[in-house]
Copies of this chain bind each other. A is one copy, B any other.
């Protein structure tokens, strides 16, 4: 059988991967979930037909969404993850021994269970005693504002459907209230090459709430254009001047993408992106 999965990044382009087998096809209460095994990128998790991660390149996404904020904060003890039910983000947070508690707020328990079963190398950390798993809507959880965190990581799907609220100013205000003075928020913020308007819209929303916002980049081959961004908000800490370099170097013995130079370099935006951020809306 010559089986191919094609993800269209727009109506006019996409990537295509040869598939060994379909492992799971399941409709959860929230979305369509599929797991495929590919020849080139290992097993793949898809939600609503879009690649969430592949075994071969998930390390880039998970290392960059976690280690950048955690190495800017002087002493991150309490970390909140919104989304991230696959566990990859938690796995990376657990590399920081100073973190005492991780709250993970995932709306779709079925995704988490499937990842525990089919992606043990990604989800391994979900059973760690530091991790508290809350199956609920991240937007509602933040609106309650019952807890205080040093770091909030928004590890969500694209800003369409139920996840859209995770990219809007009202949600960011609630994140702001939950963060301490040195607190840092980070969110995945889409492909600035594939959709610069969406990227600058996210940046604008974050900037409307937080004093300082910074976008940074990473190579993620199976995401649109292979060109991905994260956007970080901070009250006082600077993302390239306030790196805990000694910790970052030590951590680098456990990472495949992240190191302190990569951390700093990720914040250097090409000219065509810098001008996108300064365009009048």
Residue numbers of A with Cβ under 8 A of B are 6, 10-18, 38-41, 57, 59-60, 193-194, 217, 219, 221, 225-227, 252, 255-259, 261-262, 264-266, 268-272, 274
CB atoms of A226 and B221 under 8 A apart: yes
Q: List 26 A-B contacts (CB under 8 A).
A: A10-B40, A11-B18, A12-B40, A13-B15, A13-B39, A13-B40, A13-B41, A14-B15, A15-B15, A15-B16, A16-B16, A193-B219, A219-B225, A219-B270, A221-B225, A221-B226, A225-B226, A226-B226, A226-B227, A256-B272, A257-B271, A257-B272, A259-B268, A259-B271, A261-B268, A265-B266
Distance, CA A259 to CA B271, complexed state (A) = 7
Distance, CA A227 to CA B60, complexed state (A) = 13
- A199 CB to closest chain B CB (Å) equals 13
CB atoms of B221 and A219 under 8 A apart: no
- A157 CB to closest chain B CB (Å) equals 21
CB atoms of B272 and A268 under 8 A apart: no
Pick from B12, B60, B194: contact of A17, CB under 8 Å: B12
- A263 CB to closest chain B CB (Å) equals 9
- A166 CB to closest chain B CB (Å) equals 25
Pick from B11, B225, B264: contact of A265, CB under 8 Å: B264
CB atoms of B271 and A252 under 8 A apart: yes
- A255 CB to closest chain B CB (Å) equals 6
CB atoms of B271 and A255 under 8 A apart: yes
- Chain B residues within 8 Å of A272, by CB: 59, 256-257
Pick from B11, B16, B270: contact of A13, CB under 8 Å: B16
Pick from B219, B259, B262: contact of A226, CB under 8 Å: B219
- Chain B residues within 8 Å of A15, by CB: 13-16
- A200 CB to closest chain B CB (Å) equals 16
- Chain B residues within 8 Å of A14, by CB: 15-16
Most buried by B among A219, A255, A266: A219
- A215 CB to closest chain B CB (Å) equals 13
CB atoms of A6 and B13 under 8 A apart: no
- Chain B residues within 8 Å of A39, by CB: 11-13
Pick from B13, B17, B38: contact of A18, CB under 8 Å: B13
- Chain B residues within 8 Å of A265, by CB: 264-266, 268
Distance, CA A60 to CA B270, complexed state (A) = 9
Pick from B11, B57, B194, B256: contact of A271, CB under 8 Å: B256
Most buried by B among A11, A12, A255: A12
Pick from B40, B258, B264, B270: contact of A270, CB under 8 Å: B258
